[in-house]
Amino acid sequence: MTTVTEPVGVGEDAHAPHTFVAGVDSKALAEALTDVNALIGRRPPVPILAGVRLDVEGDQLTLRRTNYDVVNTATLQLPQVGHPARSTVVSASAFAAIVRAIGPGASIILTLLHRSGREFLRIAGDGVTYQLITMDAGDWPAIPADEVQHIATVSADDVQALALAGTAATSDFTLPIIHAVRLTERQGSLVAAATDRFRLLDVNTLHPVPAGFQALVPTDALEHIARLAKREGEVTISTVDEFIVFVVGSRSCRVKCVDGEYPKVDSLWPPESPIAATVDRGDLARALRRLMVATPRNTPVELAFGRNVVVLIAGDKTDLDATTTVATTLTGAEAFDAALNPQFLLDGLDAVGGDRVTFAFTVPYRPVVITGGRPNTRYLQMPVRRANGSH
């Protein structure tokens, strides 16, 4: 990358430089670059994919990035119309760094120029000029324009709910199936579920989708789409071959679905739960955090539910580390005990939301189901079998 402060003339080829794009808002361009760089990674499979492709035509500038598994696009409206169709590719990291260096509030002019038989992209704004050598746009991989199947157009809130399911997915990238969120049709509605084998989160959007729809979507992809939706609004979901496509305003993200059979987790939900305890969500979360300060990471916390109070015990009963109590209402039994991973329990409390949460129990050692104020959201957590024999 070379920085210049005036037009480059010496050594330029006979044909004059031509303006590629004029008047791009630097803040909008920086935002678009951030969006297309998402999910791509830093190790491109081939050199050309270290670049960002810029296509201009009429009054639109489209930025594209891909690593084959993900295809991101962002379209910007230009203040001027009538731009001829042109394409170029430049280093994505260098271009993003330049736009950030120019800073917000500037109007950027992009110019293609030739010098000594090579093509450069000149980037000028806020009194400074940079130039980047371009890559051959002809080497950019062709993305098949296959016909897509429309699945749903959902609200930004629904997309946040879909991404929320990823709370229960594993963070282990070497287990791609359970590092994904399963999107599926259940009784005509779009449902998201995720598990790491120790817990399960299920979110029903109640939004209609075609019968038989199912896709395993990487958690980071759904988190990215949720961030876009928070800014851009509703999301259109489609599928094409092994890809799922999200269109969010002027952005689109085409993601390869995870291949494989998802664990048969639906049978974990108990058909009925005769024992229930209701607790203030904030009080319980604060109590858990206080106990976790005094105990090793992921030490199980035993919740001993009585009619009016739940006793939280961290550590073992022979060498007690910490204990506290929270008011509760228990129905269906005089008492019930469950030992749970405290961080997973905090995650569940955050996921179900609301002022109060309900724990539903069946028998000892069986999954605990937690619901709260967030509609159509339920969280299942497996109890821990403790060394001293309690559950």
**pLDDT grade for 115, boundaries at 50, 70 and 90:** confident
**pLDDT grade for 354, boundaries at 50, 70 and 90:** very high
**pLDDT grade for 125, boundaries at 50, 70 and 90:** very high
Tell me the sheet residues that pair with 217.
181
What are the boundaries of each domain within the chain?
A: 2-139, 149-266, 271-381
**pLDDT grade for 184, boundaries at 50, 70 and 90:** very high
**How far apart, in whole angstroms, are the C-alpha atoms of residue 330 and residue 275?**
7
Task: Give the percent of the chain with pLDDT over 70.
Answer: 92
Tell me what pLDDT residue 385 has: 78
Summarize the confidence of residues 351-356 as an average pLDDT: 98
Tell me what pLDDT residue 4 has: 40
What's domain 271-381's architecture? Answer: Roll (3.10)
Summarize the confidence of residues 32-52 as an average pLDDT: 97
Summarize the confidence of residues 87-99 as an average pLDDT: 97
**pLDDT grade for 2, boundaries at 50, 70 and 90:** very low
237-276 tens-digit pLDDT? 999 999 999 999 999 999 999 999 999 999 999 999 999 9
Domains 2-139 and 271-381 share a fold: yes
Domain 2-139 CATH (choose: 3.20.190.10, 2.130.10.30, 3.10.150.10, 3.40.1050.10): 3.10.150.10
Tell me what pLDDT residue 1 has: 43
More confident residue, 387 or 19: 19
Please determine, for residue 378, whether its predicted confidence score (pLDDT) is greater than 90.
Answer: yes
Please determine, for residue 175, whether its predicted confidence score (pLDDT) is greater than 70.
Answer: yes
Tell me what pLDDT residue 376 has: 96
The mean of the pLDDT values for the chain is 91
Domain 149-266 CATH (choose: 3.40.190.10, 3.40.50.300, 3.10.150.10, 1.10.150.120): 3.10.150.10
**How far apart, in whole angstroms, are the C-alpha atoms of residue 108 and residue 129?**
10
